[in-house]
């Protein structure tokens, strides 16, 4: 019994020694590992802020390159898949149609560009056309004015070259006449009503019937009388009942009215005055004749208190 007890105690002692040795070895190994780690950590150089930032940037760039490479690989695989599907589902005719569609779209874009350029050219042409029309209109007006001036000069030349008319004779003044004076301008075969002056008054009332831009009442001062375009009336060769001259004479009374003629210095004006005067005398009116020199188709007149009538 005693011998068995000693054997069991020895076994336990051996087990305890073994366990203690194992733990001691583990502790020794742990101490060695810690010492080795501290030694290695002391050998690693410490990085500054700039080195750390560059290291982080390098890692970020590497990650970005890997991401872009993966995306490029994915797109390449997608393109290959689309090409495979297109080749599998599209015939040669379809390919030609697709190419034709692309070309057609390009042609449409080019046509749009040409259309915009054409619109710009059209706008510029319209502006030039408007300027040309304005210039043409101005030139036409100038031409008309020059033609009127040429016709007037030709008429003056014909009158200057024509022999003196034997019928152009102004009457002699015989005595004073009273009443309301009716002023008429005789120019180139036409008679223009200038205005009137009341009995015993000094001022002349210019009417706008046959006078362009009539001035206000004139008080014994000279004024320029310009006949209105298309105004007046042509003095007829013979007065007939109901014509313009007959109606004019019928609107006045010989006892209250008399005529004052401003006769311009040309043969047609003298001839028209002779016809007008014959009708006035036939209707028992007094008349006064004042020769005038027409300058540019206008005359200068001045009213008088009394007139000497024929």
In sign, the C-alpha dihedral spanning 49, 50, 51, 57 is positive
For the record, the structure tokens of 10 come out as 């020895």
Distance CA(14)–CA(87), nearest Å, equals 83
pLDDT at 1: 43
Please name every residue paired with 224 in a beta bridge, in sequence order, or none if there are none: 300
For the record, the structure tokens of 31 come out as 């101490």
pLDDT at 168: 46
Q: Give the CA distances from residue 140 to residues 128, 136, 137, in Å, rounded to whole numbers and listed in that order.
A: 18, 6, 5
pLDDT at 190: 92
Distance CA(21)–CA(6), nearest Å, equals 23
pLDDT at 47: 59
Q: Summarize pLDDT for 258-309 with one digit per residue, the tens.
A: 998 999 988 889 999 999 999 999 999 988 888 888 888 888 887 665 566 6
Closest CA to 171 of 289, 275, 56, 43: 289
222 Cβ partners below 8 Å, 6+ apart?
Answer: 300, 301, 302
For the record, the structure tokens of 172 come out as 């002699």
SS3 label, residue 139: helix
CATH class of 175-309: alpha beta
What separation, in Å, do the N-terminal and C-terminal C-alpha atoms of the chain show?
200
- pTM, to two decimals: 0.44
Q: Summarize pLDDT for 162-198 with one digit per residue, the tens.
A: 665 544 444 444 556 778 889 999 998 899 998 888 7
Q: How far is CA 229 from the centre of its chain?
A: 34
93 Cβ partners below 8 Å, 6+ apart?
Answer: none
| Spatial contact of 264 and 299, defined as CB atoms under 8 Å apart | yes
Where residue 226 falls (left for φ over 0; alpha for ψ -120 to 50; beta otherwise) is beta
pLDDT at 49: 77
């Amino acid at each position: 019994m005693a011998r068995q007890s000693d054997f069991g105690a020895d076994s336990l002692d051996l087990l305890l020694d073994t366990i203690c040795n194992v733990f001691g070895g583990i502790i020794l190994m742990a101490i060695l590992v810690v010492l080795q780690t501290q030694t290695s950590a002391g050998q690693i150089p410490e990085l500054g802020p700039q080195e750390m930032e560059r290291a982080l940037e390098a890692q970020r760039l590497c990650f970005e390159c890997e991401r872009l490479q993966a995306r490029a690989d994915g797109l390449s695989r997608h393109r290959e898949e689309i090409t495979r599907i297109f080749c599998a589902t599209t015939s040669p005719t379809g390919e030609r149609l697709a190419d034709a569609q692309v070309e057609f779209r390009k042609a449409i874009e080019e046509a749009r560009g040409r259309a915009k350029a054409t619109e710009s050219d059209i706008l510029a042409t319209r502006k030039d056309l408007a300027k040309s029309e304005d210039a043409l209109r101005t030139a036409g007006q100038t031409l008309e004015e020059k033609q009127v001036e040429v016709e007037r000069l030709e008429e003056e030349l014909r009158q200057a070259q024509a022999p003196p008319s034997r019928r152009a004779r102004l009457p002699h003044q015989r005595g004073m006449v009273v009443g309301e004076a009716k002023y008429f301008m005789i120019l180139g075969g036409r008679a223009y009503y200038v205005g009137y002056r009341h009995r015993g008054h000094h001022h002349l009332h210019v009417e706008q019937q046959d006078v362009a831009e009539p001035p206000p009442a004139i008080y014994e001062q000279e004024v320029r009388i310009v006949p209105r375009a298309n105004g007046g009336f042509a003095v007829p060769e013979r007065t007939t009942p109901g014509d313009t001259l007959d109606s004019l004479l019928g609107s006045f009374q010989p006892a209250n009215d008399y005529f004052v003629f401003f006769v311009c210095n040309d043969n047609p004006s003298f001839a028209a005055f002779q016809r007008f005067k014959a009708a006035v005398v036939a209707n028992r009116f007094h008349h006064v004749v004042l020769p005038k020199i027409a300058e540019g188709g206008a005359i200068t007149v001045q009213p008088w208190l009394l007139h000497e009538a024929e």
